[in-house]
Amino acid sequence: MQIVGKMAGKMNQNDRAYYLDWIRIGVILLLVPFHSAITFTARGDGFIRYPQSVPVMDIGLWFLSIWIMPVLFVVSGVASYHALQYRTRREYLRERRAKLLIPFLAGLLLVCPPMAYLRALFMGSFEGSLLQFYPHFFTGGVYPKGYFNWGHLWFLIYLYVFTLILLPLFMRMMRERTRALVVTASAILEKGMWIYLAAIPLMFTQTVLSPFFPGHYNLFWDWAYFTLYLGLVLYGFLFAINDRILDNIQRIRMVSLGLAILLFVPEAFLRISGMGTALGPISPAYNVLILFASVFAALGYARQFLNQPYRFYHYLHNASFPFYILHFFPITVASYFIARSDLNVWLKYPIIVVFAYPSTLALYEIIRRVPVVGSLFGIKPFEEGILKRDVRAERA
């Protein structure tokens, strides 16, 4: 990527920031053990619940939940800047609709009802077939009062709404004069730890909003998380405009990783000891600081070491998005049959994880071979998505 002055030059359409894809791939693969662990904690919105919460898993989920999805929002902002360099507004919206809105609706129709059905059977709130359950999913009210729940697909609809909200601003910032102003205004973020100034606005909004909107990913009454994730997408776009900010994030990656660990350890100790959090009202701001340190570490290390199309990149890149949509279904199936068994919890958990990975890939392999269905899940045509190799990758 060339830089003109302080500002990133325009990317050629054949160029690709591979590290962004590797972050997506890594996070989505990590969601299998993450969502499998929800079964054994009171955290998150799992479809099947183990009767007793496992404290160690709860701590791990708490830390991962702080940054694992936020980093995807930042990556989306960076990727949007690169995409808009060679796409018109209409082309970009069409791509977002095909990649986010249509798969969200397909998942809501085909993936979420079977998972809600298994939960209803598990809880004893419904008797009958899946076909009989379908009308109840859409007409019986929103979970927990009813059965309707879009589960992990919240990310897709949030990101699509953010696209509609931010696109006018993005298009304005793509203008050469506005880009130059953004680069000048953000120059301080190019220098060492000054990048953490970016966390202050979101620390403030989380501190103010979190007590009133604890967060249920329902889009309409979730203003704390809504503003947080919207801000992260905007930050990703701003960081991409001024490429020197990303250079700085890469330089301080080790410091960011150390800061994330330093902030995590005392909070984890308090939670493990049963003392809960001692931070009280500043806990939301503290979590935002962990979020930024973790995200900067992930971006920095990925940009340093993963900016190449390594082996299996093309397959994993094409599979990652439908894998995200599908992965929670095998987890729910395995949890349904295993959660109440007499096995030790530390056997149940790996069984669910080991079952979910190949099962999700098997579903992906089946779906991608049916073009009409595959397109509903954002899967590219077989010959383009799997077999096609760009020139740069072949030369690597």
Output the pTM of the full model. Answer: 0.91
Q: What's residue 11's pLDDT?
A: 52
Nearest to 23 by CA among 219, 246, 201, 286: 246
Q: How far apart are CA 267 and CA 162, in angstroms?
A: 31
Q: What's residue 95's pLDDT?
A: 94
For residues 40 and 216, the answer to whether their CB atoms sit within 8 Å is no
245 lies in some domain: yes
255 lies in some domain: yes
Q: What's residue 277's pLDDT?
A: 63
342 lies in some domain: no
- In this structure, the dihedral spanned by the alpha carbons of residues 145, 148, 153 and 156, taken in order and rounded to 10 degrees, is -100
Query: DSSP per residue over 182-199, as a string?
Result: HHHHTGGGGSGGGGGGGH
Please give the structure tokens belonging to residue 20.
């962004």
339 lies in some domain: no
Q: What residues of the chain score a pLDDT lower than 50?
A: 1-9, 13, 382-396
298 lies in some domain: yes
Q: What's residue 167's pLDDT?
A: 97
8 φ/ψ angles, rounded to the nearest 5 degrees: -60, 135
Total domains in the chain come to: 1
Q: What's residue 274's pLDDT?
A: 66
40 lies in some domain: no
224 lies in some domain: yes
243 lies in some domain: yes
Residue type for position 354: V
For residue 162, give its domain range.
3-30+55-326+380-395
Residue with tokens 């049959």: 337
For residues 182 and 237, the answer to whether their CB atoms sit within 8 Å is no
Residue type for position 202: L
